[in-house]
Amino acid sequence: MEKLQLENLTNEQIAFQLILHSGNARSKVIQSLREYRGGKREEAEQLLKEAEADLSVAHHIHFQLVQKEANREKTEFSLLLMHAEDHLMSTLSMKELVKELIELLKERNL
Amino acid sequence: MKMKRILLACSSGMSTSLLVTKMQEYAKSIGDEVEIWAVGQDQAKKEMERADVVLIGPQMSFLKGELQKEAEKYGIPVDVIDMMAYGMADGKKAYEQALTLMGEK
């Protein structure tokens, strides 16, 4: 998936892009577990892979913001940005857990 | 013209709230009479009774099927907000998507 550059985006759009890509990932992570429950292992793994690709786009946005700040270029703080970061971080941990969970279930042949 | 009622649903109702404001501003600018509001995912099923169309955030797209089933009771369309519209917080585009779903465009 194409990495997103922040230069042409407003602060608001940056937050929405974060939520969009994390949000797409979140949906796919949950869908992945549901597919697994329905016996569709390959679909489940495919969805998890796609979720990881979405997350990497979102994480790249986050990374650029952190880099900017490291270069002493402050990003304006807003509740919306905090909310967007929340989306990313909670989806990252959700993805890790679901990935482990699916491995665990596979090992036990469940 | 009939008032258009558009419901936006996302996990917490926060990100879509801003989109709601932008959609309202655009609708007003073209003289449309609208009621647009945002709710979190728990409220979506309860609130859709009052809506003509339901748009859901990307983080909720896994619930589309479930919400569609509920929406069938009221005969209203449900769809995920267009990714470009959402990612750019584009109120005009999201509003036009709602109109298209309602069959008014």
User: pLDDT tens digits, residue range B43-57?
Assistant: 999 999 999 999 999
Residues 6+ apart with CB under 8 A from A46: none
A9-13 average pLDDT score: 93
Q: What pLDDT was estimated at residue A4?
A: 79
Q: What pLDDT was estimated at residue B1?
A: 66
Tokens found for residue B32: 């449309």
Q: Which residue from A17, A30, A91 is facing B87, i.e. has the nearest CB?
A: A17
How near does any CA of chain A get to the CA of B60, in Å? 6
* Residues of B within an 8 Å Cβ radius of A: 10-12, 14-15, 18, 57-62, 83, 86-89
**Which residues pair with residue B39 across a beta bridge?**
B9
Q: Which candidate, A110, A81, A59, A105, places its Cα nearest to that of A15?
A: A81
3-state DSSP assignment of residue B32: coil
Distance (Å, whole) CA B98 – CA B79? 9
* Residue B88 with chain A: CB contacts under 8 Å: 9, 13, 16
Q: Is the pLDDT of residue A5 over 90?
A: no
pTM assigned to the model: 0.89
Residues 6+ apart with CB under 8 A from A82: none
pLDDT one-digit tens code per residue, B8-33: 998 777 788 889 999 999 999 999 99
Whether A30 has its CB under 8 Å from any CB of chain B: the answer is: yes
Q: What pLDDT was estimated at residue B105?
A: 63
Q: Which residue from B18, B58, B89 is facing A23, i.e. has the nearest CB?
A: B58
3-state DSSP assignment of residue B7: strand
DSSP state of A89: H
Single-letter amino acid, residue A67? Q
Q: Is the pLDDT of residue A82 over 70?
A: yes
pLDDT one-digit tens code per residue, B33-84: 999 999 988 899 999 999 999 999 998 899 999 999 999 999 999 999 999 9
How are strands ordered across the β-sheet holding B4-10? B34-40, B4-10, B53-56, B78-80
Q: Do the domain assignments include residue A67?
A: yes
Domain extent at residue A45:
11-104
Q: Do the domain assignments include residue A97?
A: yes
The secondary structure element, H or E, covering residue A23 is helix A11-37
Distance (Å, whole) CA B86 – CA A50? 19
Q: Do the domain assignments include residue A21?
A: yes
Domain count along chain A:
1
Could you give the percent of chain A with pLDDT greater than 90?
A: 89
Whether A11 has its CB under 8 Å from any CB of chain B: the answer is: no
H helices present in B1-105, as ranges = 15-29, 41-47, 64-72, 83-87, 91-101
The full set of domains in chain B, from first to last, is: 4-101 (3.40.50.2300)
Is B10 one of the annotated active-site residues of the chain?
Answer: yes
Instruction: Assess contact for B86 and A20: CB atoms under 8 A.
Output: yes
State the catalytic residue, choosing from B6, B8, B9, B10. B10
How near does any CA of chain B get to the CA of A7, in Å? 13
Q: Do A20 and B12 touch (CB under 8 A)?
A: no
- Output the domain CATH number for residue A61: 1.20.58.80
